[in-house]
């Protein structure tokens, strides 16, 4: 019997052709994807450069805004803070401007200002102020002196440790040794390197199990053993940059309650005075002189104590410039120092 292989050969050839077509299709698709990725990477690279310059342009716009702010008290009612404007601002070049989506080249930039005088200068905080902050946070009584003394030891130039503090000999004994800085803090994250400061103490929050059927309530000072519970963190109330005193017009309630001499009634009176559309003395809800606090503070002794830490204006700002080109976005941060119409830029960097 004679057997032919012609049909088998044709079938094999068809299979080979289909496999080849499939492989070529896969290669073509892979090439298309590769080219698309390369094109996107190139575009992203170009956008990175654009975002950098747009962010820098945003910081320059922030300088222009601050340079046109009037001298005198600063408050959250002003344009730099997103307010409608206060006093002479309403007749200035910045009246009516928006801090969001300002067009720059192919993109936009949005600005957010944080006045550093709204926080406590960590490099100038004395022991009573440090202890009051830690007490207000609810730090355990046994840890307050350790943290307060260690912060001061980290900043001061000598190698003599305070009673509960730490210098380089302590830090050299850690698993990853390092030296005490013995110089002013220039990045608030340095606090995490200091003896006694825990991650939760730095950022705020609670170590309680979120699945617990009973919510932890903070009663009195300190926490249960092994548990931390802080309504705010050190990073929320301290800054390494400011003129030294706290602006009563821009500080939040956590900062104000952390100042020696403040109590709940004083805080409420001051917030009412500060946030009102108009106050009893015609100041428009902006505290323009610390003498206005006489009616808000319970005693002359407390007023004198509070006045040691307060001011009514600020000249140091952290500016967040969010640049956007198409779907790509990047945030940049700069510290600005204002001296009248002159504004200097420090520490411009991507966040």
C-alpha dist (Å) from residue 93 to 3, 85, 286, 345: 98, 12, 22, 21
- The more confident residue out of 278 and 125 is 125
Answer CATH for 123-210+219-238 from 1.10.540.10, 3.40.50.1110, 1.10.40.60, 3.90.228.20: 1.10.40.60
What are the structure tokens assigned to 339, written together? 């001296």
Whether 346 and 315 have beta carbons less than 8 Å apart is answered as no
All structural domains of the chain with their residue ranges: 123-210+219-238
**Secondary structure of 315-328 as H, E, C letters:** CEEEEEEEEEECCE
What is residue 170's three-state secondary structure?
helix
Is the model's pLDDT at 36 over the cut of 50? yes
pTM of the model as a whole: 0.80
> Is the pLDDT confidence value at 103 over 70?
yes
Quick one: 157 exposed, middle or buried, by C-beta within 10 A (0-12, 13-18, 19+)? exposed
pLDDT at 120: 98
pLDDT tens per residue, range 121-160 = 999 999 999 999 999 999 999 999 999 999 999 999 999 9
325 pLDDT higher than 70 = yes
Mean residue pLDDT across the chain: 87
Tell whether the model's pLDDT for residue 59 goes beyond 70: yes
């Amino acid at each position: 019997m004679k057997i032919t292989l012609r049909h088998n050969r044709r079938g094999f050839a068809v299979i080979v052709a289909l496999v080849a077509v499939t492989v070529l299709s896969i290669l073509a698709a892979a090439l298309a994807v590769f080219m698309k990725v390369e094109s996107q990477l190139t575009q992203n690279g170009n956008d990175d450069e654009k975002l950098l310059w747009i962010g820098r342009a945003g910081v320059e716009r922030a300088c222009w805004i601050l340079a046109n702010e009037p001298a005198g008290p600063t408050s959250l009612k002003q344009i730099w803070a997103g307010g409608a404007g206060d006093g002479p601002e309403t007749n200035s070049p910045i009246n009516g401007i928006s801090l969001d989506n300002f067009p720059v080249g192919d993109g936009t930039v949005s600005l957010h200002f944080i006045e550093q005088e709204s926080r406590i200068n960590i490099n100038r905080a004395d022991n009573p102020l440090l202890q009051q902050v830690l007490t207000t946070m609810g730090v355990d009584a046994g840890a307050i002196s350790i943290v307060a003394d260690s912060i001061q030891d980290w900043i001061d130039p000598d190698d003599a440790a305070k009673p509960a503090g730490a210098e380089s000999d302590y830090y050299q004994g850690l698993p990853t040794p390092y030296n005490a800085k013995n110089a002013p803090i220039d990045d608030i994250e340095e606090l995490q390197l200091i003896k006694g400061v825990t991650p939760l103490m730095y950022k705020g929050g609670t170590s309680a199990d979120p699945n617990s059927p009973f919510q932890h309530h903070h009663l009195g000072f300190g926490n249960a053993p092994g548990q931390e519970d802080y309504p705010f963190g050190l990073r929320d109330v301290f800054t390494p940059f400011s003129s030294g005193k706290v602006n009563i017009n821009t500080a939040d309630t956590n900062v104000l309650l952390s100042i020696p001499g403040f109590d709940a009634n004083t805080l409420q009176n001051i917030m009412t005075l500060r946030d009102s559309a108009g106050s009893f003395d015609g100041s428009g809800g902006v505290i323009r002189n610390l003498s206005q606090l006489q009616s808000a503070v319970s005693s002359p002794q407390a007023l004198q104590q509070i006045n040691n830490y307060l001011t009514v204006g600020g000249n140091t700002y952290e500016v967040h410039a969010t640049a956007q080109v198409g779907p790509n976005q990047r945030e940049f941060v700069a510290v600005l120092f204002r001296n009248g119409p002159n504004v200097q830029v420090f520490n411009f960097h991507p966040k």
